[in-house]
């Protein structure tokens, strides 16, 4: 029995929530291993919609769910999200939910700094969600973060607060803001500490026990490979590594535990916020894709930019993340198009490229090379077998997997959990 690592293979918003929910019912543990509450996952279960941004998607099914050490945790948001889910009838306790005790915290000063920087950036804005994710990661690598385990030792936080405030006070002064109110910050931490600590434990130990028992672990990634801080469209990226290899370091398990890497891929392309987007359509076709796909960010509500499927980017993502197979989502959004297009390469300064270059200027300048295919008039919505799909839709799927050099393992044909065509079972691979 293999473990499964789920990642987005585009710019996020590929439909990971549904796929993780579908897999979580067969897993023994689900682990978030990077990112923060800037990640939005929408689940539709028996007609009820659940919107998650920090909790692992498995929590709705009652699967033991873990926030790993690679995540940056906003404890106040966590409390709100848990309360909202409990209001929808989801039971959450220390019996089915745990937080890594070495997980770094997002503090109010991180949110403030995020907003100050973005407001001052002008044309240089990178489209951050303003939730403090980046500044929290900066403090983690700067060795001045306050972590979950520190909440049990707040009276001994003096030297850590000294380092933290020395850094933030200088930055805040540059924006004309007062120094950090240390006492107010400590009081906020004292108030939230009991809530967080009830879930805290050394999850690496728990996960290693699960692994040794031969149980199934599902690693849930956030955002997408094209937002990876190393491999994405830098600087228009997130502040963490979103590739599959992070599942090991962000959970406390070795790389051999990551198992089958399932890349979630939308049948077209979307992006939220700023940054290059070679196949973006700013016409009625792009508008149609957005309307049919209900393309608005789960976390921010921002309208997503839409375009044709970019096989160059997905092939690159699959190679970088060692993707074993893909789950193709939202195929039904393409129903009814007379013609559909797929990007197979780029032109840059007279040269043809089969990859996206690293420099932002080159990324912005590439021109897509398209291959056009016949669309299909029939519907794919709700299909649960190949026999339910129009012949041309099957040809489209086959061409996609040829171009990205990665096989299709699943096809999702609606937000509903059961509307899924299983080609290759990741847990049985």
The backbone torsions φ and ψ at residue 119, rounded to the nearest 5 degrees and listed phi first, read -65, -35
Q: How far is CA 56 from the centre of its chain?
A: 11
Q: Do you know the residue count of the chain? A: 429
How far apart CA 113 and CA 167 sit, in angstroms, is 12
Cβ contact 28:63 at 8 Å: yes
Tokens of 76: 């106040």
**CA dihedral of 306, 308, 313, 317, whole degrees rounded to 10:** 70
How far apart CA 276 and CA 360 sit, in angstroms, is 8
> Nearest Cα to 230, choosing from 241, 219, 216?
241
Residue tagged active-site, from 21, 28, 41, 139: 41
**Computed from CA positions of residues 20, 22, 23, 24, in that sequence, does the dihedral angle turn out positive or negative?**
positive
How far apart CA 228 and CA 218 sit, in angstroms, is 20
Cβ contact 6:21 at 8 Å: no
Q: Is 13 labeled as catalytic in the residue annotation?
A: yes
Q: Which residue has 């420099």 as its token pair? A: 359
Distant-in-sequence contacts of 301-306, Cβ < 8 A, 24+ apart? 302/272, 302/273, 304/13, 304/270, 304/271, 304/272, 305/270, 305/271, 305/272, 305/277, 305/280, 306/268, 306/269, 306/270, 306/280, 306/281
For the chain, counts of helices (H) and of strands (E):
12, 18
Q: Is 332 labeled as catalytic in the residue annotation?
A: no
User: At what angle are helices 391-404 and 311-321 packed, to 10 degrees?
Assistant: 50
**Active site residues per annotation:** 13, 41
């Amino acid at each position: 029995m293999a473990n499964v690592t789920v990642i987005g293979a585009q710019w996020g918003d590929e439909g990971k929530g549904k796929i993780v929910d579908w897999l979580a019912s067969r897993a023994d543990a689900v682990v978030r291993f990077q990112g923060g509450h800037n990640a939005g996952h929408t689940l539709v279960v028996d007609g009820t919609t659940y919107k998650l941004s920090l909790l692992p998607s498995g929590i709705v099914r009652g699967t033991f769910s873990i926030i790993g050490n690679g995540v940056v945790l906003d404890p106040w948001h966590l409390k709100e999200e848990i309360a909202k889910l409990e209001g929808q009838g989801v039971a959450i306790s220390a019996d089915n939910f745990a937080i890594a005790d070495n997980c770094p915290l997002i503090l109010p000063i991180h949110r403030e700094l995020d907003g100050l920087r973005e407001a001052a950036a002008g044309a240089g804005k990178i489209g951050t969600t303003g939730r403090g994710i980046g500044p929290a990661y900066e403090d983690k690598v700067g060795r001045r973060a306050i972590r979950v385990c520190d909440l049990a030792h707040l009276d001994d936080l003096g030297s850590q607060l000294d380092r933290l405030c020395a850094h933030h006070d200088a930055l805040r002064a540059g924006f004309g803001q007062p120094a950090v109110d240390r006492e107010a910050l400590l009081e906020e931490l004292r108030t939230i500490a009991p809530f967080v600590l009830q879930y805290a434990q050394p999850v690496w130990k728990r996960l290693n026990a699960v692994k040794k028992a031969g149980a199934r672990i599902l690693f849930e990634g956030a955002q997408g490979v094209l937002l990876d801080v190393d491999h994405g469209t830098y600087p228009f990226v997130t502040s963490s590594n979103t590739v599959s290899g992070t599942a090991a370091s962000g959970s406390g398990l070795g790389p051999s535990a990551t198992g089958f890497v399932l890349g979630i891929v939308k049948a077209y392309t979307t992006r939220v916020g700023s940054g290059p987007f070679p196949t973006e359509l700013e016409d009625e076709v792009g508008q149609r894709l957005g309307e049919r796909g209900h393309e608005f960010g789960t976390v921010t509500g921002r309208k997503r930019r839409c375009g044709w499927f970019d096989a160059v980017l997905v092939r690159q993502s699959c190679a970088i993340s060692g993707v074993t197979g893909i789950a193709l989502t939202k195929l039904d959004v393409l129903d009814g198009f007379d013609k559909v297009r797929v990007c197979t390469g780029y032109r840059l300064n007279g040269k043809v490229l089969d990859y996206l270059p690293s420099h932002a200027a080159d990324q912005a300048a590439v021109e897509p090379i398209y291959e056009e295919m016949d669309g299909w008039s029939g519907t794919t919505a709700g299909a649960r077998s190949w026999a339910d799909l129009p012949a041309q839709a099957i040809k489209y799927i086959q061409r996609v997997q040829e171009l990205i050099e990665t096989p299709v393992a699943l096809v999702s044909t609606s937000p509903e959990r059961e509307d899924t065509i299983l080609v290759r079972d990741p847990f049985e691979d």
